[in-house]
Amino acid sequence: MTFEQLLNLLCDLHPDIDFATAEGLIDKKILTSFDVVSIAAELSETYGVELGAVDIVPENFNSARALFALIERREDE
């Protein structure tokens, strides 16, 4: 999966947010718990990236960069 694809996925959820630069997505409540579930489901169904419960913590979802870093770690496994 590329960073571009991730940005597109996120943009689908919230077209008004510039995910390339936005920080604090969880802390500022831009992403809700249901967004997190949608993202995890989309990553699994479309890209075969499986996130586990240990991955679902605010640090990993606060920015697109942080999330992409997590995805790369999981893809390497």
Partner 1 sequence: MRSILAYLNATADRLPHKLAFSDGETGLTFSALRRAAAGVGACLKNSGANREPVGVLMERGAQEVAAFLGVMEAGCFYVPLDEQMPRERLERIVRTLAPRFILSDKKNLTAAEGLCPAAEHLLYGGAAAFPAPDRLREEAEGEDLAYVVFTSGSTGEPKGVSIRNSSLLEYAETLPRVLGFDEGLVFGVQSPLYFDAYLKELLGVIVAGGTAYLLPRELFVNPMALIQYINDRGINALCWVSSAFSLVSRLRTFRAIRPQGVKLLCFGSEVLPVKQLTDWQQACPDARIFQLYGATECTGMSCFYPVVGPQDPDRPVPVGKPFPGTSLLLLNDQGKPDREGEIALGGKCVMAGYYHDPERTKAVLIPDPVGDLGLTFYRTGDLGRFDENGDLIFLGRRDQQVKHMGHRVELGEVEAAALSLKGVHEAACLYVADRQRIDLFYTGPAQPWDVVIGLKQKLPGYMTPSRTEQRPELPHLPNGKLDRRTIEQKEYGR
| Alpha carbons 68 and 76: distance in angstroms, whole number | 12
Q: Quick one: which segment of 2-10, 30-38, 68-76 binds partner 1 (CB under 8 A)?
A: 30-38
Q: How far is the CB of 61 from partner 1 (least distance, A)?
A: 7
Q: Say whether residue 33 binds partner 1 (CB under 8 A).
A: yes
Q: Which long-range contacts (CB under 8 A, 24 or more apart) does 73-77 make?
A: 74/49, 74/50, 75/1, 75/49
| Alpha carbons 31 and 25: distance in angstroms, whole number | 6
| C-beta of 20 vs 37, nearer to partner 1 | 37
Binding site for partner 1 (CB under 8 A): 12-16, 26, 31-34, 36-38, 40-41, 51-54, 56-58, 61
